[in-house]
């Protein structure tokens, strides 16, 4: 892991205070803790924590993308989660005092807020609102992660690919919702190579390309080697929402059956 480069100038104090306040800290504690918050920048492909590493902080993404996955010697890595702007990560390890059980890697240049573990544990002892919010976040994350892992571990490769892509679509939809452009974009682009995504989702490059080709034929994606553009954004939003709201029982759907999930009400 390369050295984290601390940004020379912190963001506006109000931003840090607002993020801490939203995490459940009282006004007084948010003001005090903001003095201990660090701002860090990571390069694309830089490791935040590797499997087995000590988790040193609770982190919030200011900008960028961080993926969590369980690495494997062969191609079958297990994709777990994707974190984008406004999402905290590392809370389970901070609460439990455990080492990381997975790899956290930046897919693009990423800026984060970091609250040191020692500071988090001090707050847990004195601020009920923060403790409640952090436990709620951990419980929500655990539930979502468990459901996704069941889907990814038992689902066929095509399903794993589309489930993984739907998280990237959600990340891009989040950024689009914060855009100052008045007209909604017709597509949202992710500048990550297909080879990297295939490895991340634990599938072969050939199968990944075949599934992308099918999604492109149905006007859900446009692709190039190092770029994927999500189109028909309402369909991607519906697919992601349906996955969280419906417990899937068919873990071996055909590509045509997966496509039906984009249109079924």
- The residues that bridge with 110 in the sheet, in sequence order, are 42
- Residue span(s) of the chain under CATH 1.10.10.10 come to 155-260
Under a CB-based contact definition with an 8 Å cutoff, are residues 213 and 250 in contact? no
Under a CB-based contact definition with an 8 Å cutoff, are residues 221 and 229 in contact? yes
Q: Does residue 3 or residue 40 have the better pLDDT?
A: 40
CATH number for the domain running over 155-260: 1.10.10.10
Assign a CATH topology to domain 5-151. Jelly Rolls (2.60.120)
pLDDT above 70 as % of the chain: 83
Over residues 124-179, the pLDDT tens digits come to 999 888 999 999 988 888 877 877 777 777 788 898 899 888 888 877 676 555 54
Query: Among 98-107, 126-135, 194-203, 231-240, which stretch is predicted with the lowest mean pLDDT?
Result: 231-240
Query: pLDDT-derived band of residue 199, with 50, 70 and 90 as boundaries?
Result: confident
Tell me whether residue 33 is exposed, middle or buried, using C-beta atoms within 10 angstroms of its C-beta: 0 to 12, 13 to 18, 19 or more: buried
Q: Does residue 238 or residue 43 have the better pLDDT?
A: 43
Cα dihedral 90, 91, 96, 101, rounded to 10, equals: -30
Q: What is the pLDDT of residue 106?
A: 94
249: alpha, beta or left, given left = phi > 0 and alpha = psi -120 to 50? alpha
Q: What is the pLDDT of residue 178?
A: 53
Over residues 30-71, the pLDDT tens digits come to 888 888 899 999 999 999 999 999 999 999 999 889 999 988
């Amino acid at each position: 892991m390369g050295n984290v480069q601390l940004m020379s100038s912190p963001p506006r104090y109000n931003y840090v205070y607002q993020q801490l306040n939203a995490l459940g800290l009282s006004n007084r504690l948010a003001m005090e803790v903001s003095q201990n918050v660090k701002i860090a920048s990571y390069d694309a492909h830089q490791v935040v924590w590797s499997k087995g590493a000590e988790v040193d902080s609770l982190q919030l993404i200011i900008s960028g993308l961080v993926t969590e996955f369980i690495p494997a010697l062969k191609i079958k890595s297990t994709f777990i989660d994707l974190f984008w702007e406004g999402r905290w990560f590392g809370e389970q390890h901070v609460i439990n005092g455990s080492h990381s059980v997975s790899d956290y890697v930046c897919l693009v240049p990423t800026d984060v807020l970091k609250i040191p573990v020692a500071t988090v544990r001090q707050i847990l002892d004195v601020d009920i609102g923060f403790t409640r919010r952090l436990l709620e976040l951990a419980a929500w994350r655990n539930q979502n992660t468990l459901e996704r892992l069941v889907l990814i571990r038992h689902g066929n490769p095509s399903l794993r690919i589309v489930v993984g892509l739907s998280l990237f679509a959600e990340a891009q939809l989040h950024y689009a919702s914060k855009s100052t452009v008045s007209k909604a974009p017709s597509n949202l682009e992710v500048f990550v190579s297909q080879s990297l995504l295939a490895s991340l989702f634990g599938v072969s490059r050939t199968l990944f390309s075949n599934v992308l080709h099918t999604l492109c034929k149905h006007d859900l994606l446009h692709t190039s080697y190092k770029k994927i553009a999500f189109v028909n954004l309402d369909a991607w939003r519906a697919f992601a929402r349906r996955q969280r709201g419906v417990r899937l029982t068919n873990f071996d759907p055909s590509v045509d059956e997966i496509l039906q999930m984009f249109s079924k009400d």
